[in-house]
Each structure stands twice: as structure tokens, then as C-alpha cells.
Amino acid sequence: MLAIPDPFQTPVGLKSRWCTLQAAINKFSGCVKQIKHHPQKGFCPYFLLQNPGNAPKWIEYITNLQNKLASQKQKSQDTTTTIACLSEPPSHALLTTESSTRKTERPSGQKKSKNNQQRTETWQQALARSQKEMVEQTQLQNDLLSSQTKAMNSIAEDLRLMVEDSFMSKDYSHMDEQTQRYYELKKTSTFEQYGIN
């Protein structure tokens, strides 16, 4: 306080005033440094090499800007222009830019492409699930069919054995000679089949 011989404020008042100013100054300088050192959003040096003139979004932006400027110029023109002049079709230059934007298709944004990808993944997962279920059902049906086939084969084998047993244990004495001979041949073929002589 020696530098200020007769201050208008007390040293405590000056210090509190300086603290108030210093906080605002520090905040401002921090914001300035953050802005200076923060890179542009979505910017990389590769973008400097590209020509944005052919990008559909850039063409659409320029067209909208030209239309906006043209409408502002029409509004700022002399108020004495007639309604017929105002309803006149736009100039040829504006028509060519509009037709060029209609020809070029604007690429989809990140959100839209992410949503499309999620929909596609969901659809593919549902398809894979249904195919897996179909494979499981087919496997179950095949197992059931094979077990039924085995059961039918065992029933057929049992029936064949029952038929063989029935004519092996049959009494042929009361039958005529031809029937006896048939059953004798049948017995012989059965014995040969099992290797019994």
C-alpha cells in the first residue's frame, strides 16, 4: 500500500475488488485458451485436400444460401415493384442449381446409418435364430423318425419270428400231402437260413 499514497478504498476493499476482477479475468483467459487449443469439430488435415464443391451436402447448403440471399434481395428492393414482377419465375441460374441438387443424392448421416445397421443386425439375428430353431426342429423330427423306424423294424422282426415259430411247431399229420410238403420245405429253408441241418 505504499505505492498508493492516499487510496480511496481501504486495503481490504481493494483486495476484495481485485479478487472479484481476477476471477472473471482468469475465467475469460481460460475460455480463450480453450478455444485456441481446441481443434475444429470433425476437422482433420485430410479435409483440406478434399474439394467440398462436389459434396451433395455442400451443394445443398450453397443452393439454400443463394435462395435465401435472393429472397432477401427481393424483399429489400423497391416497394413499388408490382405483384406480377414478384410472381415471375426465378432466374435460370437458380433453376440449374436446384436441378443439380435433385440429381445428386445426399448421403445419409451417422445416426441414420447406425439405425439402419442396427435394424439390419436385428433382422439378421432374428433370421439366424429362426434358422437355428428350424435346424433343431428338423433334428428332433429326424430322431423321432429314426426311433419310429427302429420300432417298426423290431415289430416286423418279432412278427417274422412268430410266424416261423408257428409253422415250426405245427402238427402236419392231419393235413393233406401237398400242404405237408409246403410246410416241410418252409421248415427246411428256415433251418438253412439259420445254419441248422
- b/e code 140-151 from CB counts within 10 Å (16+ = b): eeeeeeeeeeee
Q: Has residue 177 been placed in a domain? A: yes
Q: Has residue 16 been placed in a domain? A: no
Q: Has residue 110 been placed in a domain? A: no
Q: Does 80 score more than 60 pLDDT?
A: no
Based on its alpha-carbon atoms, the radius of gyration of the chain, rounded to whole angstroms, reads 50
Q: Has residue 166 been placed in a domain? A: yes
Q: Has residue 39 been placed in a domain? A: no
Q: Does 104 score more than 80 pLDDT?
A: no
Q: Does 56 score more than 50 pLDDT?
A: yes
Q: Has residue 160 been placed in a domain? A: yes
Q: Has residue 6 been placed in a domain? A: no
- Domain that includes residue 62, residue range: 54-101
Q: Which helix (H) or strand (E) element contains residue 160?
A: helix 110-168
Q: Has residue 142 been placed in a domain? A: yes
Q: Does 81 score more than 80 pLDDT?
A: no
φ and ψ of 186, to 5 deg: -65, -40
Please write the tens of the pLDDT for every residue from 164-184: 888 777 787 888 888 888 888
Total domains in the fold of the chain:
2
How far is the CA of 180 from the CAs of 73, 170, 173, 189, 191, in angstroms? Answer: 123, 10, 8, 14, 16
